[in-house]
């Protein structure tokens, strides 16, 4: 009986955790198999492919578990409901407000900064992502 009560108590504590705590467990894959899915978008998906590769390396070096893919802006609707955040290339800043209005209820839309995008600085991009998702 004591064991069941302890299990119930543990379940209630687990269910009471905030979304940020859940995301942190996913991010660092602490006993979880689901990865946070991040979609990088630009005009054709070419420049974000390079950034995605750098971000995957930076995430791995930091012990983070992220699924990062790059696609063209026209492919976004195919990924809504499957991704946790969309990072938009800075050259699409003119489309940012439209993307937020269209997809902002489904996932977090983040405009990448020119300062790290132009240098393909994956580490700074990951830091920006974590800050925007309020995980850091």
Domain count, the chain: 1
What mean pLDDT, rounded, does the chain reach?
A: 83
Q: What's the Cα-to-Cα distance from 55 to each of 2, 24, 27, 51, 68, rounded to whole Å? A: 47, 18, 14, 6, 8
Domain of 30, CATH number, reads 3.40.50.2300
14 is a domain residue: no
Segment 66-113, tens digit of pLDDT: 999 999 999 999 999 999 999 999 999 999 999 999 999 999 999 999
What domain range is 122 assigned to? 19-132
100 is a domain residue: yes
Segment 104-135, tens digit of pLDDT: 999 999 999 999 999 999 999 999 999 999 88
Q: Could you tell me how many helices (H) and strands (E) the chain has, helices first?
A: 7, 4
Angstrom distance (rounded) from CA 136 to CA 38: 16
91 is a domain residue: yes
pLDDT at 35: 80
Taking a C-beta distance cutoff of 8 angstroms, is the pair 38, 71 a contact? no
């Amino acid at each position: 009986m004591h064991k069941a009560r302890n299990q119930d108590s543990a379940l209630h504590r687990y269910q009471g955790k905030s979304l940020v705590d859940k995301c942190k467990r996913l991010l660092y894959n602490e006993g979880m198999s689901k990865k946070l899915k991040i979609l990088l978008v630009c005009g054709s998906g070419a420049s974000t492919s390079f950034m995605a590769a750098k971000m995957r390396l930076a995430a791995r070096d930091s012990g983070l578990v992220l699924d990062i893919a790059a696609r063209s802006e026209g492919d976004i609707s195919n990924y809504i409901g499957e991704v946790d955040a969309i990072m938009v290339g800075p050259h699409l800043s003119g489309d940012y407000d439209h993307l937020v209005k269209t997809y902002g209820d489904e996932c977090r839309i983040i405009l990448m900064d020119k300062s790290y995008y132009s240098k393909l600085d994956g580490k700074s991009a990951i830091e920006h992502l974590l800050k925007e998702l309020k995980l850091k």
